[in-house]
Structure 1
């Protein structure tokens, strides 16, 4: 009996062992797909496994010691030789990371990231391995995490920069994750050989970050030329961009399939360009191929201002239908009108001239200066002219001639008679009109003016009676509301009554003949009535009354503002303004853990899924993740973690921020979702803000938002700060970097690490015992005495306003903290940012008042910003802007007072260094060339964002002001 039982036990043991081995093989097969880089060094726990899948061999390197502490496992590649020109390589990694939550009891030590390192060498060192020779490239986190039954392969690409030696190694460090590396692909990028714009360029290895664009010279093809050496730039992504000095076909040649061929007969090309050959224009001809121009045919011409390759034109024909209209016989005037010529010679610059002959007793002579033409007698573009000053009972002959831009070119050869002229004759029988020759003042009083005037002499044979019409008005009448008074008179003398004392009036007189003919009018003359005596006593009395009214108003205002005079209803209103909830400082609790439990919701770690590392905080990494609590909808969250090796004090400081945030509930304050405290790895879970920190977001979108949108952002920040101040709470570190922005551009106050509570007294302050103070954002009393109030937060809010309107510019630019403090104490304040509304800048200045009691409260700030948003027109008035002060560095010098030595140094000074290559590619390499640039030139080199365009343009204006002081900020 014992032997069969023993045999059965042996068989059962073998079957169990076989089953376990097969199970392990299946799990390992999930990890082992492929791995192309053979490791020459494997420290600690890395393992390599080879498997056959679908007839192909695959390798993977894996490590999974999540249950052990202090893991430091290294895996190094073989020596990778580098092409001399490839200073920047890409590392593409395929890997799998297992979810820490899938391990029972190991989640406290488990990690879900690993590190990539690199080390350069001029030779293969074999199996020798020293960690100190490697420098960290990055931390790699998975986009997708593998669970027990769901295999997720991640692919991440990282860049290794500034390689200079013959080769390099890559190394992977595991610090406690369960990972498998399936493949590593190392490559570099090149711009392929190409032909662009008749210039050929060789294959070129792409540059690195320190050489974003690599310049490559090219060679022109046959019959193609270039004023400058043809160049093109190879980007870091292996793409050709910004061709400079491109080749073009010579004059008489055109581009055909990357070659230059002669223009055919009847076609021409005048200059080297990329254009095609053009057919000869009208009235020209070309008798051979490869022509540079087409000459005019006989009888056709080009005007001096015509393009040398434009069409040729002939002479215009004579005008048509010349008519003289004498509608104002008694005024000595007539109107000549005609129609344009039937043939303009192919031109649109037709003008006309009028010639006059007067005949008396069969003797004709030029009219000369006796006749007046309106608007002129030559250079007419309209087909009519007014002729005046005609004498009665004379014969006149008028000739109208048409001209064009080529008329003068034809004169030396022969002027065809009557081809461009039209003549008409008439007998003028009109009367001599009377004209006013002078006007004078006879007498004046405070309310009247007496005037007289003279009339031109008339022929003895013509003596009908004359009437006069007098027009007058006040000189200072609004031009859009002018009121004339008209008097009709029989004599050349009048007294005008009922005028205002000490007032200037303008007068004009026109004469009329007895039969209704209008004569010439006088020039508008000015006369003034005498001033009326001022009663001194009345003026004194008025001043006394004004003084009494001012005193009464002042006393009334004092009585209204006095606390003892407040009415019951007003007291009730002020009581209602007090917040129902007051902030409690968690540091007052003997056990800080009690404060956390009171103000924050505990979350089980299984409800939190970390997805991707998005940053690093003071205490550890920050992740983007998902919160899926029971009974709640899944939401995106930000997860702050506490790094390993922390002390108990660090843990309490880390969780104290959650104790603060948990007391706030406002749409403009970052929302606390909860905390993880009952497990070793503490976490703070907050709402996720897609656009991150406000200062970085504005820098990345410089010039893309209107003033209205920016003021809307500021209104949200002010509302959040009003909520905090109403809770008797001071922030102490209000800055754009501590404001977060979501995808609807809603701004929320965050980062309560430096915040402290106010005392019960409204004027109470908090005195710190030490620590760093953000000088550029802090009020002067807080810097000098470490006294923090809501008024000091208002000062900081003014700096935030400046940051927002300046699209994330650093306050006080590159001034040191010492220089900032000294400048503020000497009453210097930040200048208005570019395009900042005047009302917004005035609010900034109110926030920066030295006397903190005079600064506005956050409730006042919210009210004012609301008014501005309700009246967008109030944002159209822009504050004065001085480019020497408002763009970081003033005038023509750098930070040391010396002139800018290069264009790149100047661009760096105004934080526009991203356009250095644009200036270089456009051939702008000296500051003298910069000073000649206009707005259109800046656009043409590729500056498109309105904010960037204005910044560069205003800086150039500042550079041109050579008389300005070299340093406005010398302190």
Structure 2
């Protein structure tokens, strides 16, 4: 069958039917295969039996497309390269939109076909057009392109796929399409970059900006406020990778006297005002104000109206309050020396609600008035009153008083006018004051000194006191039936000293005041006071000695109790065991079940049926290719099984042309996964084995492989979060160890991360491609081993155990703390094995907590019997997470060793010639333009930079900032300057 002729017809017919599709957009186009309208001049390799070009005349124009269909031949490697594409200086990320058709491999009637349904997209950068010079090694892979819809014999399904090519730094680039055995036609390739257009948002002007700069999804752009607008902080906004403005920060606001209208600030109209820098509109002048002029900040008050100092300029002006009404003084039923003033609020409050009152008291004798002074008491107060009553006490008898009450508001201080009401009253007393309390001033064995107070200030010349006292009897409760004898003293003052009393004796006292005419008042309550006992001279020394002896005994008792408690607590800790041991006690709970190797079954299909659920293909919907494995493509899809909730899944496929052994190896991974059930182990949903295309269905992990996720978020996660991720991985490996399963290939690339940042162990295949490049594995007679992650005994003797998995977990810990850095950097596998055998161990990553690095070193002990077990690792990580302060101590860090930075030269030993060459050597080439725009074009200038300088040129990510800073430190070769670059 002539597959090439079939494909040519397929390509041309589909191409003609689709050229009318509109390609207009806001993107800036760098290459448009359709719009070029002429000979494309793309390079094919090899020249024969590779990609072919077809053309068709449509509306007087020749339209071109490329196709290939070598499905009968094996080991296909056909390349199609575009012409040189000039890059915009700021466009570090471009989009490649491909329209293509792929023929269904099942539509060919040949069992021996090695047909594929995908092809690969590559890119290569250059500073100038290299013409027809083509070398595959110059290209890096961008993506595997797979169709959402494949074409059969009678239908033509057009696919549109868009991929991102980022980290571009040179003047231009090429795109290349690699065919590995598919029947495919490419009829449209469009290359473009996106921009966020110039705009005005929130009164800030932002310039047109190329989207996706600095390899960031969001690019921060600074703006400037429009005329007559201001902002405390410079307005900023973010340009997304899709060319949209989002998240404006630092909103501009119109100045006082201006309001926002149509993205500009306009003056307030006459009769309106705006007092502050704000987003508000101009407001109409309030009540009791004069009309304002254009652009006014406020409206002045009319004559006789005022604003309080703390009133906003937006409020109306107020008048003064009138005087209080109905002022009354009341003494009826009040205590001696006390009266109450009350009044009604002013008839006119001036339009305000903050009315307060103040009371002024004057006393008059012989027509001479003076302030009452501080001895007069006011309840609750005499100023700032909000209520219309006040109680006044401590007033003198036989005096005339004048009370003035003033009403005030917030604007009263703006005028000298006062709103007051005044009342005159007098207090006349005939009864003596009441004694309120008695006090013991001093006591001795034979005397007592007493004093007392009265309810109001009395005139000493007019008030006398009668004091009565007696000795308290032993049977005081029977005193009422006996004759009681008091001693009575009449005194001229409110204190007395009574002598000739008996020592150690209680006496009872009561006192009353006598009026001017000798009329008595009421007695105070009877109070008890006692004289001091007599103390012989020798007795005082005995008391001191006895007190010292008692105190010493108490201290001795306390010391003994503390020692006993300390000993008891120490014995308790001894019974519990050390809290910080790496290894737990030997008594372990045995796992509930043990892993069964599916290869022990005579028929491998029996193992699949036993451990995995069969799913009908109609319940599975493929959505998008997310990867390509050894056996076929991996899709993202939806599982809609009866009786189960719809769920996102990953679908591993087995393509046509497989052998029976390949099918068994493919399904053996499902037989392994089906035996596991743990939140940190990838979950198997089921398999498809009873239909032509075998599939393995697992849960979908949104954030993909851990190593790539860490590299994409370099420096963005704190140590506490990284340790939490490690704890999840360790918990999954503990479960596998308890099941007696040895993983053999534990690495960050085989850990998947979901949307909740939860890590799950995956990749249980017994036959798999361990890495993309041959350097990743070391081939022995027993198969391939991932050298950088494998324990020494496993490399030497193929002795894989849970202890060798612990070694691999230590490498995973290093990968996580180093944000996806390649273990042992660019060392070859032979160099790695030699270094490990010579006791070399990976150094601590940057900012790695000391406790975490010590655990890594425990995992890398040469003697596997001394390595911690996974249950010990989980326990230790739990303790670190429960005590975040334990993560603050940072392990020693040497930038030349720990991040493998060249000290003074490039890989060939010669000094770096350009800044770009240096940045490329530390994998920071995306910042080449930042250095160039900042005027840093020589290595001499680089050596003068400090941390602040690096941040100022636009390096924001902490991990990138540190990598560049430590590289400069390495270039200087002065470890003493490490503190200069502390970040």
TM-score (norm 2): 0.56
Out of 617, 635, 641, which is 1:624 matched to?
A: 635
SS of 2:414's equivalent?
Answer: helix
- The alignment status of 1:419 with 2:403, answered yes or no, reads no
> Aligned equivalents of 2:354 and 2:625: distance in 1?
71
TM-superposed deviation, 1:285: 0.8
> Aligned equivalents of 2:597 and 2:510: distance in 1?
91
> Aligned equivalents of 1:631 and 1:210: distance in 2?
44
The change in CA–CA distance for 1:402 and 1:236 in structure 2 (over 3 A counts) is: same
Residues 538-577 of structure 1: pairs in structure 2 closer than 5 A = none
SS of 1:40's equivalent?
Answer: coil
Residues 575-586 of structure 1: pairs in structure 2 closer than 5 A = 578-579=590-591, 581-583=593-595
> Aligned equivalents of 1:519 and 1:318: distance in 2?
50
Deviations 1:623-680 (A, max 9, x none): 1267999999998654568999999999999998667545435566434578899999
TM-superposed deviation, 1:880: 5.7
> Aligned equivalents of 1:360 and 1:640: distance in 2?
110
In structure 1, the residue matched to 2:405 is 400
The change in CA–CA distance for 1:26 and 1:544 in structure 2 (over 3 A counts) is: closer
- The alignment status of 1:65 with 2:65, answered yes or no, reads no
In structure 2, the residue matched to 1:8 is none
SS of 1:431's equivalent?
Answer: coil
SS of 1:434's equivalent?
Answer: strand
Gaps of 5+ in 2: 20-33, 470-496, 514-520, 530-546, 577-586, 768-783, 826-835, 902-925, 931-945, 949-955, 957-976
In structure 1, the residue matched to 2:102 is 97
The change in CA–CA distance for 1:803 and 1:517 in structure 2 (over 3 A counts) is: farther
> Aligned equivalents of 1:185 and 1:578: distance in 2?
61
Contact 2:510–2:523 (CA under 8 A) maintained in structure 1: no
Contact 1:206–1:214 (CA under 8 A) maintained in structure 2: no
TM-superposed deviation, 1:69: 1.2
Contact 1:666–1:720 (CA under 8 A) maintained in structure 2: yes
The change in CA–CA distance for 1:516 and 1:76 in structure 2 (over 3 A counts) is: farther
SS of 2:41's equivalent?
Answer: strand
Deviations 1:558-577 (A, max 9, x none): 89xxxxxxxxxxxxxx99x6
The change in CA–CA distance for 1:516 and 1:396 in structure 2 (over 3 A counts) is: farther
Out of 361, 365, 371, which is 1:356 matched to?
A: 361
- The alignment status of 1:318 with 2:320, answered yes or no, reads no
The change in CA–CA distance for 1:145 and 1:217 in structure 2 (over 3 A counts) is: same
Contact 2:56–2:62 (CA under 8 A) maintained in structure 1: yes
Residues 212-611 of structure 1: pairs in structure 2 closer than 5 A = 213=219, 215=221, 220=226, 235-240=240-245, 252-257=257-262, 262-270=267-275, 275-286=280-291, 288-307=293-312, 310-324=315-329, 329-330=334-335, 332-360=337-365, 362-410=367-415, 415-416=416-417, 419-423=419-423, 425-427=425-427, 429=429, 431-436=433-438, 454-456=451-453, 461=463, 578-579=590-591, 581-583=593-595, 599-600=607-608
> Aligned equivalents of 1:745 and 1:227: distance in 2?
37
In structure 1, the residue matched to 2:41 is 40
TM-superposed deviation, 1:368: 0.8
Aligned residues: 771
Contact 1:593–1:652 (CA under 8 A) maintained in structure 2: no
> Aligned equivalents of 2:555 and 2:133: distance in 1?
108
The change in CA–CA distance for 1:73 and 1:681 in structure 2 (over 3 A counts) is: farther
> Aligned equivalents of 2:391 and 2:812: distance in 1?
68
Deviations 1:296-325 (A, max 9, x none): 221223344444565433322223454556
In structure 2, the residue matched to 1:614 is 626
> Aligned equivalents of 1:338 and 1:800: distance in 2?
84
Residues 777-792 of structure 1: pairs in structure 2 closer than 5 A = none
TM-superposed deviation, 1:22: 10
Deviations 1:92-151 (A, max 9, x none): 212222333444545872222212234567887777766566554332222333344554
Gaps of 5+ in 1: 1-15, 444-449, 468-490, 498-508, 523-529, 560-573, 756-768, 833-842, 869-874, 897-912, 918-925, 929-942, 944-964
Contact 2:257–2:297 (CA under 8 A) maintained in structure 1: yes
The change in CA–CA distance for 1:286 and 1:28 in structure 2 (over 3 A counts) is: closer
The change in CA–CA distance for 1:160 and 1:516 in structure 2 (over 3 A counts) is: farther
The change in CA–CA distance for 1:532 and 1:158 in structure 2 (over 3 A counts) is: same
In structure 1, the residue matched to 2:13 is 29
- The alignment status of 1:110 with 2:122, answered yes or no, reads no
SS of 2:410's equivalent?
Answer: coil
> Aligned equivalents of 2:387 and 2:886: distance in 1?
47
The change in CA–CA distance for 1:22 and 1:744 in structure 2 (over 3 A counts) is: closer
The change in CA–CA distance for 1:275 and 1:675 in structure 2 (over 3 A counts) is: closer
RMSD: 7.6
Deviations 1:202-222 (A, max 9, x none): 76654634475475767956x
SS of 2:307's equivalent?
Answer: coil
TM-superposed deviation, 1:357: 1.5
Contact 1:360–1:395 (CA under 8 A) maintained in structure 2: yes
In structure 2, the residue matched to 1:840 is none
TM-superposed deviation, 1:178: 1.9
> Aligned equivalents of 1:713 and 1:163: distance in 2?
32
SS of 2:413's equivalent?
Answer: helix
The change in CA–CA distance for 1:427 and 1:181 in structure 2 (over 3 A counts) is: same
> Aligned equivalents of 1:512 and 1:734: distance in 2?
98
> Aligned equivalents of 1:260 and 1:332: distance in 2?
68
TM-superposed deviation, 1:861: 8.1
In structure 2, the residue matched to 1:142 is 147
Deviations 1:748-792 (A, max 9, x none): 54355899xxxxxxxxxxxxx9976779xx9xx999xx9999899
> Aligned equivalents of 1:419 and 1:21: distance in 2?
109
